[in-house]
Chain A
C-alpha cells in the first residue's frame, strides 16, 4: 500500500496532511542535512524522519493485523515495559509542529503550552497517523494543562490517564506502584493477554536495551571535541519514542561504534572550537529543533539535554526490588521516579542533576529552555539559574513557542550568550 492510500484508509485529512508534510523536508534538510561532517550512521535516522508518517505506521498496522495493540503516550512516566510485556507497541505522539495549533485554539486557551495545543490539534485535524492507529492513548497528570487537555481529548480518542504523584516520598512510591498495577490490568484488558512475570521481564529487557544504547550515546557526548552535534543526538532521542525498540537500539549501537572511532582519532562534529552548551528544561517533540538549530548555527555545540527528550528519559535500567512480578513493578516505579520532572515538588534533585551534568559534560554555559506557558519549568528556572550562577556557570533563559515570530530576538540572545562564552 502506498502512503496516500494508507493515510486515506486511516480517515486522515489528506489535504491538510499534505500541507504539514510539504514543509517538513525543507525544514529538515535546511537544519540537518547541511551540517558539516555528520556521522554516517545518521543515515538510518534521516531515513526514518523522511518517511515518518509512512513506514512505521505500516508496521504498526501489520502489528494490528496480527492482533497486536498500539498504545500512544506523551510522557516518560508511561511505562513502556508493561506495554511490551503484553506484546503491545508503544509510540510517542506528535506534538512539535506549529501547523495544528490554530485549530486547537478553537477549544484550548491561547495561553497554554504549544506542546499540548499541537498534540490536541493533530487529533482535531486528523493529520497524525499515530493517533489514528492507537488503540489507547495514555495520558498522565504531570501538569494542569495536560490534565485538562485529556478531558477534551477523551471526546475524540480512547483515553486512559495515569495519576503521577507530585512528591517522591514512600507513600508516593507506593501510590505510583498502584498506578502501574492498574495500568497493567488495563493493558491486559485491551490486549486480551495476561502479563506474567516472564512477560514483564522481557518487556523490561526490551526497554532497558534501548535505554542502555541511548545512555552510551550520551556518555560519548562528553568527549572533547564532541563527536556528534546536539541536533543529531536530539533527533536520535526523539525517534526513540517512535521506532521499533530492538531495531532502534541496534542502530543506536552502530552509531555509537562510529562515534567511538571518531573519538579515538579526535574527530569532532564541528570544524572549529565551540562553547559547549547544556540545554535544560521542557521536552522537544519532533519537529521542534528550534533552539538546537539556532545554537549550532550561531557557533555553539549542544552537548547534553536535561530534558524528557534527553537525560530524564535515561534514568538507568530497572532493578527488580524483591521477588516475583511485584518486585519488577516496584523496580519500574523506582527507576521512573528517578527522573526529576519539574512537576514534582520540591525538586532540588533536578538542580543537582543540572549541576552534575555541567561538570560531566564540561559545559561552558547552560540554556534554560521553557516552552511558552510551561509553568513548572518557567518557575523552576529561577532557582536553577541562581544555583548555576552560584557555581560560576553562565546561564541564558529562553521561553519560546514553535513559531518563527521571535527568531530575530532569539538570535540576538543566543549569539550574545555565545559571544560572552568565548574563552
Chain B
C-alpha cells in the first residue's frame, strides 16, 4: 500500500512516499507564494513514474499551508513530527523543530503521540527567518554563514533579540573590525540561545532530536548542544523530512483522527 505525506512549510514543501511502510521517495521544493500549488508540485514530481496519485491509498497533509491543499487529511506538524521521529527512533522523547518561521519543542508520548509542546511567540528570533535575514544582510547563504561560524575563534555576543535590530548589530560588529567568522558564530549562537531557552521552558527529557530545515545549518547543532548541556541524537533520515515522514506514517496508519 502506498501512503503519501506532504509537509507544506513556510519556506520548503516536503513530500515522502511510503510503500509497505518503507520510504521509496522523498522530495523538497521551495514553497513560494501558492501553498496548494507547491504541495501538488511536490506530490506530482514524487509520483511521476510511480503510478500517480491514483495509486495512493492514504494522504496526510501537514505544515503551515496544509489547509490550502484541496485533498487529504489535515494534521498539524506537531503531531506529524511526533509520529515521524517516533517511527525513526522510539527512544526520543523531546523534539526540537527549528523551522522557517516557527520553532517548536515537542514532547512525544506513548506510541508516538503528541503529548505537549511549546512554540515561539510572534517573533522571528530563534527561527530560520532570523538566519535568512542576517545572511542576506551579509550577502551570503545561510549554509555559508554556518560554515564560516565553524571556523570562528570566539563568537561575538549578539544582544538584540529583534531580527531587524540584530541585522544592525551584526553590521556594526563588522564595521568595528570583528572577524566575519566570529560574527557568524555569534549569530548561530544567538539562535542556539533562543531555541535552548524555549526548550528549557518545557524541560528537556529523555533523548533529544533536532529536526527541521535549519537543523542542517553547519554549527547550529553544536551551538544548541552547548546551550542545552546535552547531546542531540542522530536520526536515520534527513531532518528536513521528519514531518512529511510522520504525515506519511499517519496516512499509512489510517486512523480517523488525528
The residues of A with any CB-CB pair to B shorter than 8 Å are: 299, 394-395, 399, 405-406, 408-409, 412-413, 415-416, 419-420, 422
Chain A residue at smallest Cβ distance from B76 = A416
A residues near B116, Cβ cutoff 8 Å: 394-395, 420
Q: How many A-B residue pairs have CB under 8 A?
A: 41
Q: Is the CB of A412 within 8 A of B76?
A: yes
Report the Cα distance A327→B121, complex, angstroms: 50
List chain B residues, Cβ under 8 A from A419: 75-76, 78-79, 114, 257-258
A15 CB to nearest chain B CB (Å): 32
Check: B143 CB closer than 8 A to any chain A CB: no
B 104-123 binary contact with A (CB < 8 Å = 1; else 0): 00000100011111010110
- Residues of A contacting B121 in the complex (Cβ-Cβ under 8 angstroms): 399, 409
Q: Tell me whether B102 and A412 are in contact (CB under 8 A).
A: yes
What is the number of residues of chain B that contact chain A, defined by CB distance less than 8 Å?
18
A406 to chain B, nearest CB (A): 6
Cα-based distance from A409 to B101 in the complex (angstroms): 10
- List 18 contacting pairs A-B, 8 Å CB cutoff, sorted by A: A299-B257, A395-B116, A399-B121, A405-B122, A408-B64, A409-B119, A412-B76, A412-B77, A412-B78, A412-B119, A416-B76, A416-B78, A419-B79, A419-B114, A420-B79, A420-B113, A420-B115, A420-B116
User: Closest B-chain residue to A399, C-beta based?
Assistant: B121
Give A299 Cβ to nearest chain B Cβ, in Å.
Answer: 8
Min distance, Cβ A110 to any Cβ of chain B, angstroms: 14
A409 touches B78 (CB 8 A): no
Q: Nearest A residue to B119 by beta-carbon distance? A: A413
For the complex, what is the distance from the CA of A412 to the CA of B258, rounded to whole Å?
A: 14
Q: Say yes or no: B122 contacts A406, CB within 8 Å.
A: yes
CB–CB A416/B117 < 8 A = yes
Taking a contact as CB atoms closer than 8 A, the residue among B64, B79, B109, B122 that contacts A416 in the complex is: B79
Question: With A and B bound together, what is the CA distance between A422 and B250 in angstroms?
Answer: 15
In the assembly, what is the distance between CA of A299 and CA of B109, in Å? Answer: 21
Q: Which residue of B lies closest to A400 (CB)?
A: B122
A416, B114: Cβ atoms closer than 8 Å: yes
- Taking CB as reference atom, which chain A residue is nearest B109? A420
Chain A residue, CB-CB nearest to B255: A422
Give the complex CA separation of A394 and B122 in angstroms: 23
Q: Tell me the nearest residue of chain B to A411, going by C-beta.
A: B67
Chain B residue with minimal CB distance to A394? B116
Q: Which residues on the B side are within 8 Å of A413 (C-beta)?
A: 119
How far does the Cβ of A64 sit from chain B's closest Cβ, in whole Å?
44
Enumerate chain B residues within 8 angstroms of A422, measured Cβ to Cβ. 257-258
